[in-house]
Every structure is written in C-alpha cells, then in structure tokens.
Homo-oligomer: A and B are copies of this chain.
Amino acid sequence: MAGNKGLTSPQEDYSRWYNEVVLKAELADYSPVKGTMVIRPYGYTLWENVQEQLDRRFKETGHVNAYFPLFIPMSFLEKEAEHVEGFSPELAVVTHAGGKELEEPLVVRPTSETIIGYMYSKWVRSYRDLPILINQWANVVRWELRTRLFLRTSEFLWQEGHTAHATREEAMEETLRILDLYADFAENEAAIPVIKGIKTERERFAGAVASYTIEAMMGNGWALQSGTSHFLGQNFAKAFDIKFLDQNNQLQYAWTTSWGVSTRMVGAIIMAHGDERGLRLPPRLAPIQVVIVPIWRQAADGKAILAKAQEIATALKGASVRVKVDDREQYQPGYKFNEWELRGVPLRIELGPRDLAANKVVLARRDRPAREGKTTVALSDLTTTVQSLLTEIQASMLSTARAFRDAHTHSVSSYDEFKEYLASEGGFFRVYWAGSNEDEAHIKEETKATIRCLPFDQPEGEGTCFYTGKRTNQVAIFARAY
C-alpha cells in the first residue's frame, strides 16, 4: 500500500510518523505551556468513546462516579512514605492563591489515593459502609521532562478508581476484576490484544502491594502499558486511618485498590493500528465510522449526488452508524480520500453519477489495501452491508494486531541472543526469568528493555533463565516501552 502524501513512513521514522499522524489527523496540538497538549475535537471524540465504553463497564460492575478536589495538601502525600518518594519529583505546586502566599503549599493532584483515603476515613464506620466502589474522571498533573502527545504529557486526563473493602480477598478480587475489565475493553472496543500480568517490584506503583497491568504491542514492537490495577493492601488505610467495626465488633483497617486508564489509550490506538497511510480506527471507537465522498465533474450532477449522499447518511444515522458527508466544494475526491484515510475512518462510501444511475455505491475499507478493500453494493443493501462490514473490520483489526504481536514475540535462551534480537527485530521477549532487581536494572541500563510484566499465562514446566542460567518456572515479558 502506498503511503499518504506528506506523511513520514513509520518504517523510516516511527516517532516522527506518530507525531505527524497526531497533528495531521487533528487529534491533538501542542499547547503554549511546555509539556501540555490540546486535545482537538476529533481526538476528544475518540476519548469520549473510550470513556463511554469504560464507564458503562464500571457501572455494570457496581461502581459509581464522584469528584474529589484538584488540590491536595503537601502533608497528605507525606503520610505514605513510598508514595511521596515516587511522586515528589513530578509535582506541580500552588504556592499563591487569591493574591496571598498559602500557609501550606497545595499539590496539583498527580493521583488521588491520599485525598480520597482521607475522605474514606470520614465515611467508613462499619462493615455495612463497605465496599466503597468509586471512580473519578479527572485531569492529573505529573511534571515530565520529556513529553510526547497523548503518551506522556504534564497534564493528562484519566479515570482513577478507588475502592475500599472489608477483606483482603475482596480487595484482591476487585483488583483482578478491573484488570479483566480493562483487557475486555482493550480487545473488544480498541481491537488491541493485551497481555495481563503483574509488575515486578521495580515497576510497581508507589505505595502499592502489587500492581497489575495490561501490556500492548505498538507498531514498532515496543510495549505500551495501557491500564493498571493496584492492590494497595492496608498501606493507605493505615496512612489515612480508614477503619471500620467488623461483624464481630472488632476495629479493622480497610483494604483498598486503585486503578486507571488514561488518554495514553488514544496513543495506544494510534500505534497499535496506524500504518503508512495514517490512522486506522476501530469502528467501535471511531468518531466517524463511515465517510461519504460524493464525486462529480459536471455541476449538473452535483446537486442530485449531494442529495443522495444526505439521504444515505440519514438512513445510516437511523441505524446508529456515525456517518459524515464530506460536501466540501474546494477539494477534489482524491484529496478527500487521502484525508479520511489519514484520519482513520474505517469505511468510505464513494458516490458518483454512474453509481447513482445504477443505484449502487462503492465501499472502500480502510483496513485493506486499495483494490482488495473495495466492493460495489446496491443501495438497497447498503445499511446491512455497512453494519456487517463494520463488525468485520473490528474483528479483523483485532486479529491482525494479534497476529502482528505473536509474530514479533520471541523466545530466546541467552542474554546475547536477547540483545541481538532486540537490536535487529525488536518486539516482545517471552523468557524464563530468575533474575534479581539488580539484574533487571542492569538489563535496562544496557538495552533499555524492561520487564513489562510477569504474565498470568505462565508455562506448565521449568526452563532456564536467559540471564542468570538458573532453573525456574517463571516467565517474564521483556520489551522496550513507552
């Protein structure tokens, strides 16, 4: 498939390709404030669709939304030692407000475990007050030195779930229920296959007992952590005094969890599916699922074709298809094809005078190369064909992404082999692992690859650690990561 005019090829310079796609597809723009971004309507609508599908899943599993303050007293963060250590370098601090210097500086939330923990300690008295299953949609700020649109920005949007439970078991069940929910969202809405697993100690959330993750492979073989779910044990309950009387009238500390998916997910969608022609959006999340491009040379044809295009759009809208008619007169059809391919619209309808006369249209799939993706359809069958094609494209994008990931997942038996493959092929490395924290740090220093997770899907038998040579029954996924 030929590339899109003016778009750097992803093979040539993946990072540049990514930035160009984000800007040219009008997903986002740089903002005048260093490290922050503007999410433009097309990118924000994609995020709204992500939100809608996640939010539906949260509510179906008994969660409710709430809103906690943006500002957190510095002293709150200091109550959990690991937490403050992890977040201190990234904090933005309000020192003046209302024309005066504040007595205590306020931190702009980097995450909300502390202030939410404080409120839970006020709300929880008895086991009857548990569980608390609250989620918040919010902006958070983590001051980053090296930023990247959607992937790493000083301010980003996310949801952060914070739950409190009476028992360890319930909190652990919740942590894993959410991980499953995230994986279900990634695969069935974003068409991105993910690997579920647990983070090693080095990569654990600051203050958590255990951090779980879904890891996805991007088009350059790197990993993107696409959602995390943390089992916080009683760490925050002890720091914030979240206590309750249990059924035996004994005072107990609660068990808490936290979990989040952010606007990084938009970056994941771009990089898991994009190609040399630009974005490819999964139909279930695409802001525009179908674009209709009317084609005419003689002005006399224009009016009838535009009217027909609107008629088709109305019919598709009636069937809950998100459709747009590109009726701009200043551009040629070829220009429009390129633009909507760049912007990743899953399905294009071409409508010209000859098609109109024959009561037909041409359908072009974004996920298939030019000829292979084209079919001619009778107008009478259009709605059902569009609906079934959208379903097919969604499924096909997931299986394509899965096949790509599997083809780029290697198993190596020595560190030399690992380094060689990492340099030549990249991708994921599913390897037996019995190393230490220090070994992991050393590998990162030498190769920039990290353990993405210890996947849930572990082998039945033993093998030899590729790095230490020790026998082990544990497998890890190594990769370069964003």
Contact = CB atoms under 8 A, between A and B. Distances in A.
Interface of A: 29, 31-33, 36-41, 44-45, 47-48, 64-73, 76, 88-99, 105-106, 108, 115, 118-119, 122-123, 128, 134, 138-139, 141, 143-145, 154-155, 157, 330
Contacts of A65: 41, 44-45, 48
A93 B93 contact: no
A93 B108 CA distance: 11
Contact of A68 (B38, B93, B99): B38
A34 to B, nearest CB: 9
A39 to B, nearest CB: 4
B70 A115 contact: no
B39 A71 contact: no
Nearest to A142: B98
A163 to B, nearest CB: 12
Contacts of A93: 94-97
A43 B64 CA distance: 11
Contact of A33 (B29, B106, B128, B145): B106
A131 to B, nearest CB: 13
A134 B66 contact: no
Contacts of A128: 330
B66 A31 contact: no
The main secondary structure of chain A at its interface with chain B is mixed
Contacts of A31: 68-69, 115, 119
Q: Report the copy number of this chain in the oligomer.
A: 2
A38 B97 contact: no
Contact of A91 (B97, B154, B157): B97
23 contacts: A31-B68, A31-B115, A32-B118, A33-B72, A36-B69, A37-B69, A38-B66, A38-B67, A39-B67, A41-B65, A70-B155, A71-B155, A92-B96, A92-B98, A93-B94, A93-B95, A93-B97, A94-B108, A95-B96, A97-B143, A97-B154, A98-B145, A138-B139
Contacts of A41: 64-66, 134
Nearest to A134: B41
Contacts of A108: 70, 94, 108
Best-surrounded residue of A47, A94, A105 (most CB of chain B within 10 A): A94
A143 B97 CA distance: 6
A233 to B, nearest CB: 24
B32 A44 contact: no
Best-surrounded residue of A68, A88, A89, A330 (most CB of chain B within 10 A): A68
A122 B45 CA distance: 21
A44 B66 contact: yes
B98 A95 contact: no
Contacts of A45: 64-65
A92 B66 CA distance: 23
Nearest to A140: B70
A432 B97 CA distance: 41
A94 B92 contact: yes
A66 B39 contact: yes
B94 A89 contact: no
Given A38-B68, A89-B99, 19 more contacts: A29-B122, A32-B115, A33-B106, A37-B69, A38-B67, A41-B134, A44-B66, A45-B65, A48-B65, A70-B139, A89-B98, A91-B98, A92-B94, A92-B96, A92-B97, A92-B106, A93-B94, A96-B105, A97-B143
Contacts of A122: 29
Nearest to A106: B33
B33 A69 contact: yes
Contacts of A64: 41, 44-45
A139 B71 CA distance: 11
Contacts of A94: 92-95, 108
A49 to B, nearest CB: 11
Contacts of A144: 98
B71 A33 contact: yes
A38 B92 contact: no
